[in-house]
Structure 1
Amino acid sequence: MGGDVLSEGAAVMRESLLKSQSITDSVVSVLGSFDHRLSALETAMRPTQIRTHAIRRAHENIDKTLKSAEVILAQFDLFCQAEAKILKGPHDDLDSYLEAIQQLRSNILFFNNNKSFKSSDGVVNHSNNLLAKAISKLEEEFKQLLSSYSKPVEPERLFECLPNSLRPSSESSGNQGDSTGRNPSSNSHSEHHHNNNLENADFTPPTLIPLRILPLLHNLAQQMVQAGHQQQLLKIYRDTRSSVLEESLRKLGVVETLFKGKACNEIRESAFGLTKWLAKTAQETFGDFEEAVEKDATKTAVLDGTVHPLTSYVINYVKFLFDYQSTLKQLFQEFENGEETNSQLASVTMRIMQALQTNLDGKSKQHKDIALTHLFLMNNIHYMVRSVRRSEAKDLLGDDWVQRHRRIVQQHANQYKRIAWAKILQCLSVQGLTSSGGGSAVGVDGGNSSGVSRAVVKDKLKTFNMQFEELHQRQSQWTVPDSELRESLRLAVAEVLLPAYRSFIKRFGPLVESGKNPMKYIRYSAEDLDRMLGEFFEGKTLNEPKRW
């Protein structure tokens, strides 16, 4: 009995164990399924995690890029502000102008240190060019300020700088030597007293330039030195101040004082005589040079219409004169004819320029092609104007002279265009296109009525091609040495020729295109003509290859 109970208990226990094992297996199976699903979920989430990480890094990069862009844009803003101030010039607000120069230097340093920015080289080049212009304007401002406030010192102003005891008076002028009857010991005592006065005297230096101007000149000079323009600074100061000093000494009679007395009479008279002789020789030399320029008959041929050697020689001579203008002004003072010395020097320069122009008019007639005649005169007078504008001669000759001769340059350019291109433009006009006969024709207004002969259109296009090729061959050998003038002249021709050609081809091209060999007559597009115009005035030789 007891064994049966024990057996039943064991059976129940075994059954319970089996159920527990089954439950355990089920739980393990469920947990295994969860593990599998979790692994699959992790696998599915991994690309999302990678993308999230990439997005986070992209955001970080964008933030860095935006911060870098903000710094660069800030530099551009500062550059634009500096550029506006520099283009305005230093005259109205010098302090602001100098700040703009410093800002420009900071911009250059920034972009030099940030070469990774792909446009940094272009920005640096532009900034350097602007800085050069800014320093050039500073030079002009320095020269203008120094000239305005550099005036000869009147003797009375210098006497006012002396103490009262040392100022000259009319009473003391005759009290010298023994003429007063005083004994030598009295004179010795007076001289000793005078020397003591000199040692203890309180001298007041004269104000040569107003105190409020000195800081401005100092700042300008400092900027010029910093930019490496020491030599220009010294030259401006020397030329401006030396003439003022010489005039001040002359008013004081220092030269006469140095050679005072009978013993120096011969030296003094020789010096004055030499000065007058130099002045007379200078005037005669200028007169001879003026005549030589006007009558120069050298046969140097300028076949391409470029600047003649005589022109460059005379311009260099005039520039040389202005290197010695202070000396020349002194010499001109020997001839007191009521004119200012500046006016006399300007008059000499103008006469030389006019002599050159007269000679160039004669030399231009050596060209058989009248269009080349005007191109030659345009080149040479433009060279004169440009040289004057870039030198001190501009201040002396004045804006009127410059503007008058610029108009002459434009007149010759217009004459060249009219003479060289009038004939070929006739090929593109509608005159002569009407035909009274039948045959293939279209209306002048583009309609289908009879009126324009295909043969006449072909003949006009054939003539146009021939004339343009002749012009291209000849005028690509001509020269316009100044790049701006050259481009301006090409543009002026293109503005007349290309619209006329496009209009003609648009209206009458279909008549030719519908016939045989249209390319024989419509040989060029408007773009081809424009490209070929780009070869005009380059001074090419006949053997050089074409670019089209």
Structure 2
Amino acid sequence: MPRKGMSNLCFSPGVSSSSSSPPLSHYPSPSHSIMDRTLDISEPIISKWNPDNTTFARVTSLFYENRSEAMDFLRIVKNLQKAMHFLVIEDSSSEKMIRAQNLMEAAMKRLQKEFYQILSMNRAQLDPESVSTRSSRTSTGSSTSEFDYDEDDNRSGVVPDESVSENDDVLSVAMEDLRLIADCMISSGYANECLKIYKIIRKSIVDEGIYRLGVEKFTSSQIHKMDWEALEFRITKWINAVRTAVKTLFDGERILCDYVFATSDNITESCFAEITKEGALILFGFPEKVAKITKKSPEKVFRTLDMYTAISEHWPDIDSIFSSESTVNIKSQAVTSLIKLGEFVRAALNDFESVILKDSSISVVAGGGIHYLTIDVMKYLSLLADYSNVLSDILADSPPSEKKSLPESYFGFSDSDDSPAHPLSQKMVWLIVVLLCKLDAKAKLYNDLSLAYLFLANNLQYVVVKVQTSNLKYILGDEWLMKHENKVKQFASNYERLGWSHVIATLPSNPTAVDTPEKVKEIFKKFNTTFDLAYRKQSVFIIPDNKLRDNIKISIAKKIFSLYREFYNAHRRKVERGRYSRSVVRYAPEDVGHHLSDLFFGNFEMGSYLSIESATSISSSPSPSLSPSPYRLSIPATSISPSPSPSPSRPSISR
């Protein structure tokens, strides 16, 4: 109360304080006068709502029945508390003080009841989703309580906003009433009684929310006993739960707690910590247990990355919501789970590298097609590339892969680089190098050198296409792609020389220089024989990639078709006039083009495998039927001189 009010209570206006006045001790002290007035005003309304006095008070809610009277009740309690503060200094054991204390206890019992009723009756409206949707921590943190006003202020209740829904209106009123009651009880010294009710009710809501999201508390032993299908199901439910738990459940509780107990940061933090601790530790502790117990196999890495992503994507919210010292153990648990998940991923990638290195199959792919190892590895790496952001974090502190035992020219990065390569790029390049070196060894299983080079071209082309059509393109970069595209061209060129140079060599570089019919017949016969052999052997070869297949067929056609057509047009008539001309001139230029167009579709399904003995027998099998193929190649008329015969060296990726 202002000092002028106290003066009015102590001294009557118009009466002078002369020497004839009674001693000052005969007048009532200011604190006693304040207490008398406060008790006279407080007792009727507090007694009216004392749940121990009447049935009406026991079954009726003050804030629901008469909100204006509820505001008077809070004001009276506040004034009573102030008056008690003045009186306790002078006479803490006086009859008035005891009477005031009894009234205060009755008032607190009423407010406890009201606090509980508002929390329980408005459980649906005060659910975390409604609170987080309507509010934000920034706005609630700067709000002021309706209870913060002076005696002369106008009474102001919560005025419903017509623009909001009825549910929002109920939510606003409930939140404001909880805040008013909490302020009153805390300032009156009854914080523990208020917090006990709040913690019990709100903790049950958090725990129920965690359970409804499908997150259960498992021991390490229980997780260890689960088969992968059951555990994967639990992981999926956990991933789906994280966003709702962080964005709605914990955030909503944070907002409500900040609002209701805005007058005390310490109370807010300790209360929020107790409400959310158990549920949050169950939620953020699950990934750590999975990472520690589950076998670190390559096929399980993706679910692990999903869990890592779920935490890292919501880390700013987690860091903000659990920012106090009271909740540091919750945030620490989330960090620990990230660390363990990262360790799992690194171990699984190392295990995947070992799987590639340990592949010891000695069968060859029919027709030089795509090896299953190439398909599996590139599918795995392209899926990993979709997690490039989190993988970059996980691999940031990993030591660089050992590269001294593999061809340095294929690693893509050297120690002389001005700046070290990104760890994720290094890891991806390294795994592809391991794959290519295994393919290099498998190419040596082919007895036919041309087929070995075709095998390398097919598989490296598959690698290049997988990189081009996935996020690996952004990880490895254009320089890596260009380098390996050129390597594919080199393998294809080696195949062409080994597979077709002997056919090209049968045709003279200058067709008009041949002058005798005997020489012409000899050239036709040599061409027929070598072309038959080459076609017979390579009719089972396969090139699955359309672009690579067309490029190789066009390249071969340029080198054979134009030379043969020029020789055919120049000397065909010389031979046709003789006996057995049809056995000499077996192919018209169009027939050669048609036969070349038939190539590389193979007689085997892609991915079929043969033993080394079977593959060897195919090369010497009888000539297949030379029936026309529905596929036709447009043959350019450009004349290309034949390439020199290659040396019979073994193909190698490192060359």
TM-score for the superposition, normalised by structure 2: 0.42
Higher helix share: 1
**Which fold has the larger relative contact order, with Cα–Cα distance below 8 Å and residues 6 or more apart in sequence?**
2
TM-score for the superposition, normalised by structure 1: 0.49
